[in-house]
Amino acid sequence: MTGAARYVGARVPRVEDHRLLTGRGTYVADVSRPGMLHCAFVRSPIARATIGAIDTTEALALPGVVAVHFAADLAAHAHPIRYAGEDPASAAIPPLLAADEVRFVGDPVALVVAEDRYVAEDAAGLVGVEYEPLAPVVGLTEALTAENIVHPDRAGNSDNSGNSNNIALRVTPRPLEDVDEAFAGAAHVVRATIHEHAHAPVPLETRGLVAQWSAGELTVWASSQAAHEARSVAAQLLGLPEHQVRVIVRDTGGGFGLKVAPVREELCVLVAARRSPAALSWIEDRTENLTAGGQARHERGEVALAFTADHTLACATLRHVQDNGAYPTSGSVRTGPAAGMMFPGPYRLPLSRFEHTSVFTNTAGRVAYRGPWAFETLARETSLDIASRRMGVDPIELRRRNLLRLDELPVINPHGMPYSHMTPAETYEKALEILDLEEFRRLQAAARLQGRHLGMGTSTYCEPTSPGVGHHGSEGAVLRIDPSGTVTVLVAGGSAGNSLETAAVQLTADALGMRIEDVRTIQGDTALTPFGAGTGGSRSGSMLAGAIGTTAAALRARLLAVAAHVLEASVDDLDLADSRVSVRGTPGVTLSVADIAEIAHHHPERLPAGLSPGLEESGRYRAESPVIWSNAAHVCTCEVDVRTGQVTLLRYIVAEDCGKVVNPAVVEGQIAGGVVQGIGGVLLEHLAYDADGTPRATTFMDYLLPTTTDVSMIEYGHVESPAPGPGGIKGVGEGGAIGAPPAVVNAVADALAPFGAEITQLPLTPEAVLDLVEAGERVATP
């Protein structure tokens, strides 16, 4: 009864592309409603200050200005909220606007509503706010030691010295005597402190939404990764039942974790819209995005690695500190300890210990940027390269000696994470095979004789995808066949550059035996689609496969039951493929799906007894495994100009094991996007702050993004080990961004090996590279 898979595994062109490439995509800025009003925020120019008098006289006198809202005004109409996955006891009214004190440059103080975006911006500039500056807390060390407190109402935590109340979260596992003994008895102990700088998701489409209250219903057009989460938060905030809120997500120009749930600015607009005579629109501009959209990656890790005499890992520890900014998103706080839990990575490591501390600072709030726990890979992989050089061991051989193999699994890492169904050693070898290591070393040696500095770096990691717990642990689908025989698949999904439309169509076509041109999908509309957690946690591929597979099985059974009745054949003798049902062994005896749909919808008298008319099924899939592991190996080669500090990437290779590959073009696109983000984060991007907490990169003139001139062509190798989930599919969305930074760092360090360079501080700007070269020259020349 089953047709062979035709589309899963094939390079099917993306169904989104025609719409997007011809300019027919619909983003929030494209939404226009009758009489729509526009919003702009008055933002603090100071990192920390008390708020004094506020004068709105000039702003309200400007023609076209409708209203100016302040903290107390909006909070009076807001209800407590909590985000998915949070403890119900944590529900509270969020700090929509700054009330008595601003806590970072860009902190929203007032919301201006006007008839035109330009008028709203002008009016925001006319609102006079008196500020009394206070000493800000900027940087990780200051947050741990300063007497100044970012959030006095949250004071009570402290570090071990008892002199800081800026700690948002501290995780200190119990002391392990075995760990101390392992270090005491180790043949080699290597310590390094790795510093990563702040950078940001910076999606092409900034944050934004349109909200309209009409006829007892709030309709929200959002740039979001999770339409149903946006609906839940909006309903809670306004004290409405969820059926009175509809969230529509059409196209989203990138999310990368920034758009998982609505936060302060979006919440302000939602509250204001409930009282507005017309729809409200807010579109974040790029300066707002870089100033207040959120930061990530600002972290520090003290790493210690213990090895036996044969360079086998015996123990590892990590003391991890991350910057939460002033108002972090809930998801970014929760992922902090995950960096410690996953620090052992895909290695054969018997013992490990970690400590985690999250701190508040007077900077933009932390957001859950693509692979929000990725620091663990950066810290581990760069430290392994440092260890290899200090011990006089080739870094590749060091990894080969310690990487887990598929045949060793399942195992549990020292922090209780259950590893299974992954191929760390195998993907590493695949990447090295593509590189041709011996040939590269020959080219590298020849280049050094010419005064050129080539380097090669690797990294490897494992990533938990498709979490099977909480709201992430299930996904629904609705499949219907209309009278013409066309299939519509409705899933929560959402078009955010992740090709979920194409994946849904491919999976449905194969599950039902349809031609792909006979399948379409509707996603991102809470009034139509079943509940879903949205995109995040590299969950969509596996969860979509489960939801569609479960639902398609029921619909397929209905189709075949009708066909068997009409054709007077046994269901067991039927094949369903190419949108047709045929009787096996009887050529020419067939029915098209359109024929069956015609009968099911318009001629119920021809249906078998007990079968209801129509062809529609809904279903939900619940993940059986608490986590599905994906893994990959990255290899980067580069050339470093030691006169200018310029780093030029030569080759970039990724060998990825994401289980069954649904669409190689899509998988490679996801890897490429993440790799480019990781490269940019190492070499170019930096959300820098000065000592006063003033951001130094507020436009793309200062915040540099990678272009085609900064990256090399990316080469791919696919290793397919089956996942325990549906179809053997694993997640792939975040891996590129996780693996790229340490691979680039290690390549540059390898190129600068003649100078004795150890790279522990990012970013690797030309100035930073020259500092490493000069430091090496000073050591070499007493």
Eight-class DSSP state of 3 = P
Mean pLDDT of 571-600: 95
Token digits for 692?
């006063």
Q: Which tokens in the block code for residue 127?
A: 């609102």
Q: What number is the average pLDDT over the span 245-257?
A: 97
What is d(CA 395, CA 381) in angstroms, rounded to the nearest whole number? 10
Per-residue pLDDT at 2: 43
% of the chain at pLDDT higher than 70 = 97
Q: Given this chain, do its domains 17-24+473-622 and 299-466+625-780 carry the same CATH topology?
A: yes
Q: Under CATH, which number does the domain 17-24+473-622 receive?
A: 3.30.365.10
What is the β-pairing status of strands 647-657 and 628-640? Answer: antiparallel
- pTM to 2 decimal places: 0.96
Pairing of strands 188-196, 299-307: antiparallel
Range of weakest confidence among 4-8, 307-311, 426-430? 4-8
Please tell me the predicted confidence (pLDDT) of residue 780. 61
Which of 348, 344, 342, 346 shows the shortest CA–CA distance to 310? 348
For 763-773, how does the pLDDT look when each residue is reduced to its tens digit (9 = 90+)? Answer: 999 999 999 99
Of 112, 106, 80, 83, the closest CA to residue 95 belongs to 80
pLDDT confidence of residue 725: 87
626, pLDDT greater than 90: no
Write down the pLDDT at residue 781: 57
Q: Are 359 and 140 in contact (CB under 8 A)?
A: yes
Q: What mean pLDDT do residues 436-457 have?
A: 98
Other C-beta atoms closer than 10 Å to the C-beta of 61 total 10
The predicted pLDDT at position 470 comes to: 87
Measured CA to CA, the distance from residue 567 to residue 581 in angstroms comes to 10
CA distances from 6 to 2, 253, 385, 558 (A): 12, 30, 44, 22
Say if strands 128-133 and 208-214 run parallel, antiparallel, or are unpaired: unpaired
Checking if the pLDDT of 388 tops 80, the result is: yes
pLDDT at 383: 98
- The pLDDT tens digits for 5-19 are 689 999 999 999 999
Alpha-carbon span 462 to 419, nearest angstrom: 9
Residue 341, strand partner residues: none
Q: What is the DSSP letter of 173?
A: P
Contact between residue 599 and residue 610 where contact means Cβ atoms under 8 Å apart: no
Lowest mean pLDDT among 160-174, 176-190, 435-449, 597-611: 160-174
pLDDT at 162: 45
Q: How confident is the model at residue 4 (pLDDT cuts 50, 70, 90)?
A: low
β-bridge pairing 128-133 and 49-55: antiparallel
Q: Domain spans of the chain?
A: 17-24+473-622, 31-134+204-254+259-292, 299-466+625-780
What's residue 583's pLDDT? 96
As a whole number, the mean pLDDT across the chain is 95
* Contact partners, residue 643, CB within 8 Å, separation at least 6: none
Residue type, 289: N
Query: Which two structure tokens, joined as six digits, stand for 365?
Result: 């709030």
What number does CATH give the domain 299-466+625-780? Answer: 3.30.365.10
pLDDT at 469 (0 to 100): 85
| β-bridge pairing 280-283 and 453-465 | unpaired
Q: What is the mean pLDDT of residues 166-193?
A: 92
In this prediction, residue 782 carries a pLDDT of 52
160 pLDDT higher than 50: no
Alpha helix segments (H runs only) across 450-539: 500-512
Tokens read off for 444: 């590298």
pLDDT given at position 161: 42
DSSP SS3 for 119: helix
Of 24, 25, 33, 81, give the one whose Cα is nearest residue 210. 33
Domain 31-134+204-254+259-292 has CATH 3.90.1170.50: yes
pLDDT of residue 494: 81
Q: Which of 47, 166, 131, 49 is nearest to 692 (CA)?
A: 47
Residue 403 carries which side chain, given as an amino acid letter?
A: L
Mean pLDDT on 738-757: 97
Tell whether the model's pLDDT for residue 417 goes beyond 80.
Answer: yes
pLDDT score at 158: 45
Per-residue pLDDT for 159 more than 50?
no
What is the bridge-based pairing of β-strands 352-359 and 167-171? antiparallel
Rounded mean pLDDT, 751-764:
97
Given this model, what pLDDT does residue 175 score? 76
pLDDT in tens, 634-693: 999 999 999 999 999 999 999 999 999 999 999 999 999 999 999 999 999 999 999 999
